[in-house]
Amino acid sequence: MNRTVWHGLVVLAAALLIAAVYQPVGAQREPIKIGAIVPLTGPSGVSGQAMQKGYQLAMDEISRQGLLGRRVELIVEDDRGDPPTGAAAFLKLVTRDRIDVLAGGLQSATSIAIAAQARQRPILMAWTGAASTLVERALADADWFFHYHPWEYHNADSTFGFLRSTGARTIAMAYEDGPFGSGSADQAGAFARNYGLTLTFNEAFKTGSPDLTPLLTKAKGANADAFVFVSFDQDVVPMATQARQVGFSPKIILAAPPSWPVGFEKLGAGNYVAGMALWTAENGHGVSRRFVQRYKERFNEDPSSYWAPLAYTNLITVAEAIRRAGNTDLAALTREMKATEYEGPIGLPLTFKRSIYGKNQGYTRLIAFQWINGKQVVVWPEQIAGGKLAYPAPYGR
Amino acid sequence: MAGAALLAAAAALPFWLNRTQPYFLQLALNVLIVAVLALSWDLLARTGQLSLAHAAFFGLGAYTSALLTTRAGVPVVAGIVLGGLMATAVAAALGVLTLRLRGIYFAIATLAFSETLRVITKQLRFTGGSAGLVTPPLLPANLPAQYLVILGILLLAALTSELVNRSRWHFAFTAIRTNEEVAAVMGIDVVRFKVLAFAISAFFAGLTGAFYAHVFLFINPFEAYSLAISVGALVAPIFGGLYTTIGPLLGAVALRIGEETLRAALGSGFLIIYGLILAAVILYMPRGLLGLWTAAAARRHAGERGVTAPVSGNGQA
Amino acid sequence: MAIFGVLRSGLYSLASVGLALSVGVIGVVNFAHGEFLMLGAYLGYWLFASYGIDPLAAIPIGAVALFLLGGAVHRLGIQRVLRSPELNQMLLTFGISIFLQNLAIILWGGDPRTAAVGYKAQSVALGPFTVGFPQLVVFAVAMTLTLSLYAILGGSRIGKAMRAVAQNRVGASLIGIEVDRIYLLTFGLSTALAGMAGLMIALQLSTSPFIGLLYTLKAFAIIVMAGLGNITGVIYASLVLGLSEAFVEFYVPQGGGWAEGVFFVLILVVLLVRPRGLFR
């Protein structure tokens, strides 16, 4: 090769080297970038959009207070409830947008796909989603994975703990036959025993069924104190109305849909049905009330599920950890996230501790509420109860 | 010599891309999955049979491989191949039973089959039930290699498609599609060809399903047997141009671009584009995008030559 | 259990009879059938939530509204593919179904909405049995509508024209029947029936953009069992479906999960064994 070519190659190599190493002077002033992957569209789109609203409220505060003297940028990507899209979204956030920390998360399948990617490109995952223990086990050794949402067994634990507190001794349970319901059903037997309760009936149904009368008639025959109904929003309507029709009046009906249909509050048959959730808008906690207020002002509607305050908590705690760490270095962030102690709108204290398989588990319990005259009144645990549980509940009277 | 160098460069491309823009590599991988499904669906459509069972074979491939690799210690690559073969076998059996049904009856029967598989998989403990299965990875942490695998599958499918289109099979398929009775009278073994098409189509669907399972590491009955898979597999070829090799691929890419654009603009409900495309294509451009292209080319050609040349047909829609 | 199965079949048959009409007379399998039902349900919810109109009373409104909508859809789209291969018709209606479902998502969001009709949870004594009042109402409405349809088809001029077209399109036009107009009317009628079924669903249950598919599938199962085009067979087929589901749910342990498979298996079995339908 002649000298010109050699010189050219050397110059090229030097230029590449400099470009790789060079950091522009203004690097310190680069904004802090937080990425979030949520399903804005697809079957869980409603919950994902609620999360986005929670993030917006959090960003209002964070931007106002400032963070380490730098601008903060939130980049939300839609995973559409589709694991391949989630994997691509992760790569975009990490390799193109160069985020400093990853928030978000809702469905289990997408969580697994994203986590697989995160193992190759280590980043702190402050994850609000996935309740399936399969995800917990897949990420058992991950120190950088912080999980906010209760796992399935936490949900079961709270449910049966609540039932125990009501005085019920025998339980009949029906669950929708998808991953959401089946996950609860698997845990049910063990947890019932833990709390000294007897599960006399445990059967599946198909979500969206217009007619639950055979199921409810069977459940009625089991003669249990409590009826637990794990379903989606659309199923609670036939459940409540048809339970009245077949004369099924256990001492308490406990439904656990992730959200409730619009108009349920007006349904006579829905009165005194109890529910479990991470949070309800009727929560009496001061911080919660202020959150609901700000949400109403900003979006002109009531928050319909716990996803908004959960997302808000997600972002605020991440920002706090960054603030304490003084930088966005992974090791420092991990250390500070572990030190999180936060009491926010959810109303339960948030810390990260070990769970059965995981290292950093946030919320571990649900609260119970009862529909009383169109309002979701929190009835358990006692410390945050806003009213007294009607037990036995006067269904049909 | 130049060809080998080009091939080597093409194989190296994903590895380079992985260093610089892995996001695009992942996007490409995602689109290729849909492309293979589209092309394989089209293969069967060439015999005039409209299948809604594509999801069934996708799921069968995924679950076969997942179960073999997690419970029987079969290596992942073997699992994927076996997944494809299982789908083929089931398709052959199902085909013999149902391929005498025509048009809408066949479509409904395939839909029923798909859903029945989903229900059975969901109910059995053995398959992991509703909660699903976590699966071992294929070429773990190696996105470019995974990409090359699905590209390989696509090339195989494209090769098969082209072979079919350039051989006597093309005439047989077209004859069957146009009029089965006449084809039979002409001496074409209608059942044999339809079952063959069904089996080959299912092979690729099963292979892709298994690939999906080992790249995204998790399957459950709702995703693996989802109607959306069958829908995606059929809209792409219709949009791009039926009964060709390029058409389904073009359709898959164009559809993905259209989806993303619309999603950015509309948010939830962007899937409305599928509905609009289907309606628009059926009503106004039955030959799909490819048809538009060839029609425009023919017009240009005719203009150049000064005579009106007939539009090259790709068979009836 | 038999009573529950029977009552359930009322809703099913009302949801399916429109599709049977469309398939039988026009020969179009309308994949969007469930979406018209869904729109009817939303109409019922809206009328109740905004004006307090009971879905029962809204039946005439719903029928007219969905009839007009169906007519428009037919004119704009379906009419053009009537002479095309079946594949095209199927895909067009499939496309319409996706379009309508996502339109509902865009307009009204994904949350289900329920109309808190006063007697939604009431029960009524029927001899030795206690049954749900709304279910009984829906069953009565379904039977009335189906039997009226049967009467119209048998007795009236329009009905006879429809049957003529169903049997032989060319022959019918030769004797002076305006086939295109009959197609338009029939399609409108089929969507109107779907809309009325939707109103009953708003009465008994709740609505969301996603309920369409379930009812389309059940309608398919029912008309396949009845034999494509057999209108009265729809009642029998609905009974078979309703009763077998109810029995599986009640008597089979963990039946609820398997019951979903019942109608798919039924479709498969019928198509493989007696594709002409069970009730010809």
Residue in C77, C88, C264 nearest the CB of B115: C264
Domain total of chain B: 1
Q: Does residue B297 lie within any of the structural domains?
A: no
Quick check: A134 and B131 CB within 8 A?
yes
Least confident interval from A110-114, B2-6, B135-139: B2-6
**C250: containing domain:** 2-113+124-273
Per residue in B88-116, pLDDT (tens digit) is 999 999 998 888 887 778 888 898 899 88
The CA distance from B118 to B133, in Å, is: 14
Q: Does residue C173 lie within any of the structural domains?
A: yes
Q: What is the pLDDT of residue A15?
A: 52
- Rounded to a whole number of angstroms, the distance from the CA of A343 to the nearest CA of chain C is 30
Neighbours of A127 (CB within 10 A): 26
User: Which residue's structure tokens are 């009029």?
Assistant: B179
Q: Tell me what ipTM this predicted complex has.
A: 0.84
Residue in C87, C98, C267 nearest the CB of B50: C87
Q: Which domains does chain A have, with CATH numbers?
A: 31-150+284-350 (3.40.50.2300), 153-277+367-384 (3.40.50.2300)
- Burial label for C81, CB within 10 Å (0-12, 13-18, 19+), is buried
Domain total of chain C: 1
Q: How many CB pairs under 8 A join A and C?
A: 126
Q: Does residue B138 lie within any of the structural domains?
A: yes
> pTM for the whole thing?
0.86
For residue B69, what is the domain's CATH number?
Answer: 1.10.3470
Q: Does residue C194 lie within any of the structural domains?
A: yes
What is the amino acid identity at position B2? A
Q: Is B187 on the interface with A (CB under 8 A)?
A: no
Asked whether the beta carbons of A114 and A88 are under 8 A apart, the reply is no
Q: Is A107 on the interface with B (CB under 8 A)?
A: no
**B252: containing domain:** 2-286
Q: Does residue C92 lie within any of the structural domains?
A: yes
To the nearest 10°, report the CA torsion of C136, C139, C145, C150. Answer: -140
Q: Give contacts of B 133-152 with A, CB under 8 A.
A: 134, 137, 141
* Residues from chain B contacting residue C101 (CB–CB below 8 Å): 275
Q: Does residue B301 lie within any of the structural domains?
A: no
Q: What is the pLDDT of residue B122?
A: 86
Per residue in B226-257, pLDDT (tens digit) is 888 998 898 899 888 888 898 999 999 988 88
Q: Does residue B271 lie within any of the structural domains?
A: yes
Helix H segments across C168-254?
169-174, 179-204, 211-226, 233-251
Residue in A204, A247, A264 nearest the CB of C114: A264
Residue in C112, C208, C246 nearest the CB of A214: C246
Q: Does residue B298 lie within any of the structural domains?
A: no
For residue C57, what is the domain's CATH number?
Answer: 1.10.3470
Per residue in B249-284, pLDDT (tens digit) is 999 998 888 888 877 777 677 778 778 887 888 888
Give, for all 397 residues of chain A, the pLDDT tens digit. Answer: 455 555 555 555 555 555 444 444 444 568 899 999 999 888 888 889 999 999 999 999 999 888 888 899 999 999 988 999 999 999 999 999 999 999 999 999 999 999 888 888 889 999 998 888 888 988 888 999 999 999 988 998 999 999 999 988 999 999 998 888 888 888 888 898 889 999 999 998 888 888 888 899 889 999 999 999 999 888 999 999 889 888 889 999 999 888 888 888 888 888 899 999 999 888 878 899 999 999 999 999 888 889 999 999 999 999 999 999 998 899 999 999 999 999 989 888 899 999 999 899 999 999 999 999 888 888 988 877 878 888 888 887 6
Q: Is C179 on the interface with B (CB under 8 A)?
A: no
Quick check: B220 and A186 CB within 8 A?
no
The CA distance from A390 to A370, in Å, is: 8
Q: Does residue C279 lie within any of the structural domains?
A: no
User: Which residue's structure tokens are 């963990």?
Assistant: C254
Q: Does residue C280 lie within any of the structural domains?
A: no
